[in-house]
Structure 1
Amino acid sequence: MLFKTIPYILRLCALARGTILQNGQPRVTDYPGTKIDIAAYQFQTYNADAAEISYKGRWDSKKVSWWSAPGLVFGFTGNTVAVTFGELTTDTTLVGYRIGGMDWTFTNVTAGGTHLLVSAETPGINETYPVSPLTFELRVTNWAYGVQISQVHVAEGESLIKIAPYGRTIEFIGDSLSAGMYTSYESLSSFAYGVGAGLGDTEWYVTAYPGICVTDQDCWGNPRGQSHQWFYTSDTSWRASQIWGDEPEPWDFSKQETTPDIVIINLGTNDNNEANNVTSAAYVDAYKKLIQGVHGKYPKAQVIVMQLWMGFYAYGNSYGQNLGYEQELQDVVAYFNSDEYLSAPAVWDGTTNTTTTLGEPSEAFVHYFSTKGIMQHNDIGPQWHPTDVGAIKVASHLTQFIKLTFGWEMVATGPEIFHETTYWNDEQNY
């Protein structure tokens, strides 16, 4: 979605200092300093390519993270976990980490530094009803920053354990709205993360980046659109251009531990902005190519097309919801569920720009999710993005849509999803 240059720069600076702005004021944070002198410890060390480490989201061959909320998961024995971050880490990137479903803890990590993230005092280590093996999870919070994993350490004599992936998977393809721009913990406060993690027992990937269009053109500094970039490992950031130049790595879809059962697309807020000069025909063509690409890579996946929300406007003595590409999106859904397409489904390969036809007919697989009425005007922040509450509302409704449409049960019955949203009032007399 649209973002202004100066606020954007200020926002990146704020994240570098570990500051969260809450209604324009800094939120009090107390992130632990976790950097250590590795020479003072005796570790069992694993390299970044160890089979026991599961990488979530998109990571390149250098073990550098990309897009929104990339992470890693592994089991371990003992009560110690440390991670050494490579020199390609964006210095002071804020990461969230935890054991199992405990509350998230956050720390700013350093390029080339080793950080002690689990010790005997970490919540979840010495619990009354221990779970074996202990599971460690780490996620990058900011969509513009990334980390490089160099090594993972446990206590001497202990070991890492491979954690099998969950049996169902969701992927989100989007822009800043899916990436969590301007929510408190950005990627870990987005509606996309809320759906994936909130369902429980579900793998989730968020291939989203602010400002990007679905149409393959420059939009707000993104040189390519998702109808092209989705096929690549890295996003469209300046960081990607510095590391990979003009030859980014194509994404190896076979390296994913699981294949998405559901793909949710929320794209068009940037295409719809007149500053980017995207025609209706170009938007529809690009959206179709993206879905054709998804269908080619994930032939059995169900696709959810999200109705766009474009903020609110004053209307009489209340407010109205701006919408965009209403008819175009419904036409796209109708096209993919038509006999014309399903009898000879065409798929798109964004890396070679060729279209081929699948060998067998397909069944209807594209669904339309209406966002109308979910949020109200005060669920949108000053920068035209959902507040934390707005993101939670969208996540809640979309989760119910998935449950009703596909029969997916919600099995997360306790783990923390959204951090620092336990607001309440216990004052009786006011």
Structure 2
Amino acid sequence: MLSILNLAIFGLSLSTATILQNGQPRPSNYPDTRIDPNASSFRTYPADAPEISYKGRWDSKHVSWWSAPGIKFGYTGQTVAISFGHLTSPGVLIAYRIGGLDWTFTNVTARGTHLLVSADTPGSSLTTPINPWTFEMRVTNWAYGVQIDSIHVAAGEKLVKLPDFGRRIEVIGDSLAAGMYTSYEGLSSWAYGLGAGLGDTEYSITAYPGICAADQDCWGNPRGQVHQWFYTSDTSYRASVAYGDNPEPWDFSKRPAADIVVINIGTNDQNAANNVSTTVYIDALTKIIQGVHGKWPKAHVIVMSLWLGFYQSGNSYFPGASQGFVNEVCQMCKWFNSDDYLRNQTIYDGVTKKISRASGRPEPFVHYFNTSGIMQHNDIGPQWHPTDVGAIKVASHLQQFIRITFGWDLLATGPEVFHDTLYWNDQSGY
């Protein structure tokens, strides 16, 4: 990680509508969606209305945390507006859509009401109306969040509770999973592409830039994932302002257990600047997996190998000399699947530090996903993170690994996943 990360972690940079591609601003014409809520006749639902499904991690004040959190619900009519609370980050960029149509983006404001769906919204006036419509919103930036105050539909219309999908994935990671430096950050990350690209799958991305697995300060993050994964909020500056030293523990009973947990963390532990020994890293990663197993005993865990960029040697490029704790991680995975562990499991609870024993011998549950050979040097950006294309490649290979290993069908059959990646050549001769 480079020192520029400290600016992002402490929220000193402002979220704007400008997106850079290769150092140049990408043209954007995000609509100004703010309205006067008193000028329209609405039916209003509070933030805790049971019709609203919260995706990812949200606290008891309905404030979003970590990467690509969102909300989803059904609605009737042609109107959806959202009022955002005072804990919304200034100018945070959100993505929203109806059904499986393309994402639309807008910057929202604290204490503002934003009209996101109207009769003019593309697809909203289909000749064959869909009842109910589906609305989805996602926060794009991992360092910022929104607070839901209320949801509005047209007078006489209603919200509708949508059933959750039957499959669930959790991703635990750092900046590589959070989407740092990709075009739409969380919404362009490989972790989002994995969950959304599988289709008909609930997903949560508990990832934040700069964080280590080890429980120590790394690039301004005061705690590591071995601790923080058990809490609702991330390790951002806004979390320290909101909670100080008393963050809300995550209530795992809020959601059904994950079926698959993907862990991609250790790049920051590997960096010499953070002074994390191999022993400390493996101990932390082991406890993360034990914690996952304690909360979700039936979940399968996929541990991804790390990638540390490429260097030029002669007239070609080669991966970093050390890809990060390879032998040690492989040995740890073998230990989790050994008879010694499975017959007498040690479960680690990251909140209470309580150790318990579980009897019986379940099936092996830890799987190793080798990322070697997926990305080439041009799939890694100047800041050592995947480009948009690199993220797509990682997500695609991981989807196939899950399909082969667990028999999961790929159920995404049309709705947009990665935005602004529709490039083509329509000239037959050139």
Q: Give me the TM-score of the superposition, normalised by structure 1.
A: 0.97
1:344 maps to 2:341? no
For 1:118, the equivalent position in structure 2 comes to 117
Unaligned runs of 5+ in 2: none
- Kept in 2: contact 1:67–1:234 (CA 8 A): yes
Distance 2:10 2:107 in 1: 16
CA RMSD of aligned residues (A): 1.5
1:292 maps to 2:293? no
Q: Please tell me the residue identity of whatever aligns with 1:69.
A: A
| Secondary structure of 1:309 counterpart | coil
Q: Give the drift of 1:315.
A: 2.5
Distance 1:107 1:331 in 2: 47
Q: Please tell me the residue identity of whatever aligns with 1:290.
A: I
Paired residues for 1:228-239 under 5 Å: 228-239=227-238
Paired residues for 1:16-35 under 5 Å: 16-35=15-34
Q: Give the drift of 1:128.
A: 4.5
For 1:167, the equivalent position in structure 2 comes to 166
For 2:104, the equivalent position in structure 1 comes to 105
Aligned match of 1:283 in 281, 284, 299?
281
Paired residues for 1:370-389 under 5 Å: 370-389=370-389
- Kept in 1: contact 2:6–2:220 (CA 8 A): no
Aligned match of 2:299 in 293, 301, 304?
301
Distance 1:252 1:143 in 2: 21
For 1:74, the equivalent position in structure 2 comes to 73
For 2:94, the equivalent position in structure 1 comes to 95
Q: Give the drift of 1:91.
A: 1.3
Q: Give me the TM-score of the superposition, normalised by structure 2.
A: 0.97
Render the CA deviation track for 1:59-82: whole Å, top value 9, x for unaligned: 000100000000000000111000
Q: Give the drift of 1:7.
A: 8.5
Q: Please tell me the residue identity of whatever aligns with 1:337.
A: N
For 2:242, the equivalent position in structure 1 comes to 243
Distance 2:10 2:316 in 1: 31
- Kept in 2: contact 1:3–1:211 (CA 8 A): no
1:196 maps to 2:209? no
- Kept in 2: contact 1:14–1:20 (CA 8 A): no
Distance 2:313 2:372 in 1: 16
Q: Give the drift of 1:124.
A: 2.6
Distance 2:14 2:184 in 1: 10
- Percent identity among equivalent residues? 65
Q: Give the drift of 1:345.
A: 1.1
| Secondary structure of 1:248 counterpart | coil
- Tell me the matched-pair count: 428
- Kept in 2: contact 1:345–1:362 (CA 8 A): no
1:312 maps to 2:322? no
Q: Give the drift of 1:429.
A: 4.6
Distance 1:28 1:7 in 2: 27
Q: Please tell me the residue identity of whatever aligns with 1:29.
A: S
For 1:401, the equivalent position in structure 2 comes to 401
Q: Please tell me the residue identity of whatever aligns with 2:328.
A: E
- Kept in 1: contact 2:5–2:219 (CA 8 A): no
Distance 1:310 1:128 in 2: 52
**Superposition misfits of 4+ residues, deviation over 6 angstroms:** 10-14
Distance 1:58 1:408 in 2: 25
Q: Give the drift of 1:353.
A: 1.6
Question: Residues 13 and 226 from structure 1, CA distance in 2 versus in 1: closer, same or farther, beyond 3 angstroms?
Answer: closer
Q: Give the drift of 1:355.
A: 1.9
- Kept in 2: contact 1:232–1:248 (CA 8 A): yes
